[in-house]
């Protein structure tokens, strides 16, 4: 059994003025390769903090995060920056660049990694087909529906050869709709691991 992500007794505290806020209080989680999981909780329960840790944007106050066998707390700042380039995020508001086409938005993530043009094409075109946007490849974000923009954001994350894919605060019902409309549950798991995250009202 291979775990791509492990959290062991994960704790995260923040100092707000004179008050120490305990945001995460001993989280334990194992994510197997190819697994699809969801993290649910009310607003303020620590989901975004947890994603920041899993995305190597922050380090825990206590505990371990192990990604593909590497304890990220022991990495230098430069090594953590390198690891972040292997993690794809799908944001709530997509974060697409308006003046770029679908293809160029996805390609930008690979330009940062100095991947050759030929290799970029080999990666991007099949993924665009997988998410069902091959007829929109030269369209810009303002020419797309909300669902299509979300699929571009997914494709961009997948193109990064990711280890896992944290998805910030989009509705879990939407995840199920992707699976239904695009057969995307199979498509996304084939690439790696997905961690959808959703808020609910308590």
Distance CA 31, CA 202 (A): 26
pLDDT tens for 55-70 read: 888 889 999 999 888 8
Give which of 105, 61, 68, 101 is closest to 86, Cα–Cα.
Answer: 68
pTM above 0.85, yes or no: no
pLDDT confidence of residue 11 = 94
Chain centre distance of CA 142: 23
pLDDT of 108-155, one tens digit each? 878 877 788 888 888 888 888 888 889 999 999 999 888 788 888 888
Instruction: Report pLDDT digits (tens) over 88-107.
Output: 776 666 789 999 999 999 99
- How far lies 59's CA from each of 1, 13, 36, 67, 88, in Å? 26, 11, 24, 13, 18
Q: Residue 85 is encoded by which pair of tokens?
A: 């380039």
Domains of the chain (ranges, CATH numbers): 1-85+195-202 (3.40.50.300)
The 10s digit of each residue's pLDDT in 71-90 is: 988 889 899 888 887 777 76
User: What is the share, in percent, of the chain residues with pLDDT greater than 90?
Assistant: 22
């Amino acid at each position: 059994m291979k775990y791509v992500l492990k959290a062991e007794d994960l704790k995260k505290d923040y100092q707000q003025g004179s008050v120490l806020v305990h945001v995460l209080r001993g989280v334990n989680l194992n994510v197997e390769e190819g697994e699809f999981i969801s993290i649910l909780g009310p607003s303020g329960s620590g989901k975004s903090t947890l994603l920041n840790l899993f995305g190597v944007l922050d380090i825990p106050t206590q505990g371990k995060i192990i990604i593909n066998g590497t304890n990220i707390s022991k990495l230098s700042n430069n090594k953590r920056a390198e690891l972040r380039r292997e993690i794809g995020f799908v944001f709530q508001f997509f974060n697409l660049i308006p003046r770029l086409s679908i293809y160029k938005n996805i390609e930008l993530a690979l330009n940062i990694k100095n991947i050759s043009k030929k290799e970029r094409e080999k990666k991007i075109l099949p993924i665009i087909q997988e998410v069902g946007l091959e007829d929109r490849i030269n369209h810009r974000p303002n020419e797309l529906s909300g669902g299509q923009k979300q699929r571009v954001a997914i494709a961009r994350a997948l193109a990064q050869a990711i280890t896992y894919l944290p998805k910030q605060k989009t509705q879990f019902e939407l995840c199920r709709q992707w699976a239904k409309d695009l057969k995307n549950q199979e498509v996304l798991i084939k690439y790696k691991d997905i961690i959808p995250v959703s808020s609910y009202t308590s």
